[in-house]
Amino acid sequence: MIVHLRIDNRLIHGQVAVTWMGRIGAKEIIVCNDKVAADPIQQMALPLAAPGKSILILSVADTIKYAKEHEADTLFIIAKFPSDALAILNSGLEVKDINVGNAAPIAGTKYKMVTKSIAATEEDAANYREIAKLNGGKLRSQLTPSNEDTDFLAQLKSAGL
């Protein structure tokens, strides 16, 4: 079962490799994004950000296939973009917890800062709202397990998205 689905375009970093991994109790981190999965440099570099951890770097389709084949496992998935997370939810997989972690601004896009660490475009905001709809109307944001989680939909609204 997907115990934790984190949307974080920074992918693997200290917050993920240490604090979230320990909290979730998953045996591996699955990075989910088509371009990342096809990039040999990222395939080589991402595991270096989490020494000693098992890292899978998969396309969206392969992530869905893997999750369906390992439903009995405790899965921790990091989706690079909200569109990646939405595809997972639209596949019918059960997801226990969804968290918007970090979303650094992407140059050349018309983004707004939703929080200090989360930028979103209109398209991202629409995807986040659809994710919430598929998640019982809720979507939260939490940087680390020790931070308070917040209502991400309310943050989007406050940012004018």
Active site residues: 13
Non-local (6+) Cβ contacts of 135 within 8 A are 89, 95, 98
Instruction: Identify whether the C-beta of residue 149 lies closer than 8 Å to the C-beta of residue 135.
Output: no
Interatomic CA distance for residues 94 and 59, integer angstroms: 18
CA distances from 13 to 47, 50, 144 (A): 10, 7, 11
Instruction: Look up tokens 């296939």; give the residue.
Output: 65
